[in-house]
Amino acid sequence: MRIKQTLEEVNKEIEEETILMVQWDKDHYDSENPDSIYSRELERLSRIKQLLELGADVSRGPGGIYVNNKYVVSYRQTKWRVDGKGKWYWYKNLEDFMERYVNTKAGLNEYKYNKKKKIKEEESVLNDLA
């Protein structure tokens, strides 16, 4: 089940998780493993927030962060894949991912659609003249 996220919700969750992480750090300051579930959740939330700020439509799911209902971004690693496919790809950073794959691919598909539409219109005009 995917849960759609908004920037306000994410900011509120970040505040709550920060408070919980600080409390956990106080309780476990002598722990051998300083990594906590709260720090991992903050990492996930910051990635979601960054995607929202870049203009993506974001929802959380069991497999990762779903971007524009087409791409899945890993919660912790810098990997992405197309929803429904199994092959994961690396990306440099989220800005690069959005610019290279999300925005460009959508723009390219729209360009191809408009070009095909224009060719069909020209063909119909030629057929009408003949």
End-to-end Cα spacing for the chain: 55
Mean pLDDT of the region 62-70:
90
DSSP 71: E
What does the pLDDT read at residue 32?
67
What does the pLDDT read at residue 33?
66
pLDDT digits (tens, 9 = 90+) for 29-48: 766 666 678 888 889 999 99
- The CA angle 104-74-66, to the nearest 5 degrees, is 60
Q: pTM for this structure?
A: 0.70
pLDDT digits (tens, 9 = 90+) for 74-128: 998 999 999 988 899 999 999 988 888 888 755 556 656 677 788 888 888 778 7
pLDDT higher than 70, residue 8? yes
